[in-house]
Amino acid sequence: MSEYNAESIEVLEGLEPVQKRPGMYTDTTCPNHLIAEVVDNSVDEALQKFANKIIINLFADGSVEVDDNGRGMPVDKHPTINKSGVEVILTTLHAGGKFSDKNYQFSGGLHGVGISVVNALSENLQVKIKRDGFLYQMEFNNGDPIDELKKIDKVAVKDTGTIIRFLPNHRYFDSVKYDIKALFHLLKAKAVLCPNLHIIFYDENKDETTEWLYQGDLGDYLKEELTGIETIPEPVFAEQITTENQGLDFALCWDINKQNIITDSYVNLVPTTQGGTHVNGIKTGLIDCIKEFAVLHKLLPKGLKIVADDIWLGLNFVLSVKMAEPQFSGQTKERLTSRQISSFVSSSIKNSFSLWLNKHPQTGTQIAQNIIDNAQNRQKKSQNVVRKKIIAGPKLPGKLADCVATDLNQTELFLVEGDSAGGSTKQARDKDFQAVMPLRGKILNTWEVKSTSVLSSKEVHDIAVAIGMDPDDDDISKLRYGKICILADADSDGLHIATLLCALFVKHFNILVQKGHIFVAMPPLYRIDYGKKVRYALDDDEKNSIMNNIIKKNKNAKISTTRFKGLGEMNPPQLRETTLAPDTRRLVQMSLNNENMTTETLDMLLAKKRADDRKVWLEESGNLAIV
């Protein structure tokens, strides 16, 4: 084994991190996301009213060209890096003009890595810029510039824009074939969400041209997509709400046949295929206003409770949110995690839809009755899948604070590290559907313990009794909660406890992992205060990113940060907002995409015989630890 010293530390520069770990920056299934990144930049110009036309050409050799009539990339020298703006943008991660609101009030390209990722993962990229009466050109191979930016021609002063042509490098993708159907859906959505934006797609392989240009609202689009389907209301309900620093545009209706056909959500015109906090806001807003309407008109049967799933069944919607500084769960931006937008969406939808329901009481009654029917059907079905009562065998653990609901589609059990955190969690929870069971310190390392012996540990025994299943039991009909959530501190000790609990479920309750019942809550490590605003950060990287964005917007901003020592240090409202409330929490589902790799990793971390392997891993990756 080679000696481990400072010389062993590898520093990745420029675009090397992308080329080394492309999956961290893009979807490596196919190159569609590369097109999306380039198109997003052009759409951002359209959002600011600087562009109204985007042309996408797919050539026979697999290269793609995106041509817009926006302002054109900056061609002057960067004051500190001494390179042209074009070269900085295309070769430097986290470089861009969208970190503040000086150039873009709203933008999808926020992280400053999108277009540089396209360059890093392309065999060849050529950029042309029309700006200030000249045509500029620069070319790159595998992310490296071939030469400097140069003028190649004159153009009319009013003729501006950026043309980027790139050829994806097949080494980084499972397939270099584009998903044209998905691409068309994306381009059509961009045109719908940005009225008067003309998008043209030409496929050289088929010699076909497809164009999109919409001038109506989202209601027209949703109605068109649901042609031939009976919906309520008819026509669909659509609304547009704009404030100084955020905007909401949405359309919705329910399919009489209970089908969810269109459930599209966007943030700054970027599709969020996995939803997020803005979509959670729809659920909350609709539940509040429909329950209010049903109670007012005496439609709600006694003892019946409407939940999110009742609203969701048959709901079709298009939701477009515009906001500054959106936070996503990854560079591919598939899920929005910005907490502050949820309350804006829910209150806006509640207010506007409540007003509409009361102006249209006959249709409002029809909508409410449809949702009440959903709730009654769910209640009937849930009688077969209710949380099991303990009628024989060991009693429920004394520390378990149970919930009221019995429907497995709703109930959640939080396994919480320590009595102090358990007490805060009990105060922060919604006792209707959230149960809490505190655990005493680090549980037993069960990775190498036989299932027949694992229940000798009191903590493991209590967990098994609470969830209603024994180790290695494949009969999930005994399960008492639909979601079992691991909740530990965000520091290294908490992560160790979370690892031990993950290992317990992977090793001894594997069926629950396979069926998607195990989750890990992601509490924040930091609270960031500036002015009257509060933000929360999951780790150091997110904290630094948030602080950098604040400083770039206001150099004189007074920022104070608080590092939470543990969950018990957070007051119940903070814990509810950041970790427990379904609208604003971060909850990650445990899955086994590669069970062999998961087993190997946990074995390396927890097996006694793997001490030497663990040492090597710690030496190589110890710098990633949270301290």
HEC profile of 509-577: CHHHHHCCCEEEECCCCEEEEECCEEEEECCHHHHHHHHHHHHHHCCCCCEEEEECCCHHHCCHHHHHH
Provide the pLDDT for residue 387: 56
Provide the pLDDT for residue 102: 45
The residues that are catalytic are: 417, 489, 491, 493
At 476, list the tokens: 């999930």
3-state secondary structure of 181: helix
Residue type, 459: E
At 435, list the tokens: 């149960």
Provide the pLDDT for residue 52: 94
**Could you give the CA distance from residue 86 to residue 212 in angstroms, rounded to a whole number?**
29
Residue type, 544: N
> Cα-Cα-Cα-Cα dihedral of 354, 343, 250, 263, to 10°?
-110
Cα–Cα separations (whole angstroms), residue 438 to 249, 310, 398:
42, 31, 10
**Could you give the CA distance from residue 56 to residue 42 in angstroms, rounded to a whole number?**
11
Provide the pLDDT for residue 8: 40
Q: How does 409-430 read in b/e, with b if 16+ C-beta sit within 10 Å?
A: ebbbbbbbbbeebbbbbbebbe
| Radius of gyration, alpha carbons of the chain | 27
Cα–Cα separations (whole angstroms), residue 2 to 7, 8, 619:
11, 9, 12
pLDDT in tens, 203-236: 999 999 999 998 888 998 899 889 999 999 988 9
526 DSSP β-pair partners: 537, 563
3-state secondary structure of 500: helix
Q: Tell me which residue of 616, 605, 372 sits closest to 507, measured CA to CA.
A: 605
**Could you give the CA distance from residue 440 to residue 437 in angstroms, rounded to a whole number?**
10
3-state secondary structure of 477: helix
Q: Which residue has the tokens 């109204």?
A: 52
Q: Are 87 and 145 in contact (CB under 8 A)?
A: yes
Provide the pLDDT for residue 103: 45
Q: Tell me which residue of 357, 377, 261, 362 sits closest to 310, measured CA to CA.
A: 377
Give phi and psi for 39, each to the nearest 5.
-65, -40
Contacts of 522 (CB under 8 A, 6+ apart): 490, 538, 579, 585, 586, 587, 588
What proportions of the chain, in percent to the nearest 5, are helix, strand and coil?
40, 20, 40
Q: Which residue has the tokens 């007012």?
A: 296
Q: Are 442 and 500 in contact (CB under 8 A)?
A: yes
101 DSSP β-pair partners: none
Provide the pLDDT for residue 77: 85
Q: Tell me which residue of 293, 284, 290, 288 sits closest to 345, measured CA to CA.
A: 284
E strand or H helix that includes residue 397 = none
DSSP 8-state secondary structure symbol assigned to residue 389? P
| Spans of the chain, pLDDT less than 70 | 1-14, 17, 23-24, 94-114, 330-332, 382-395, 622-627
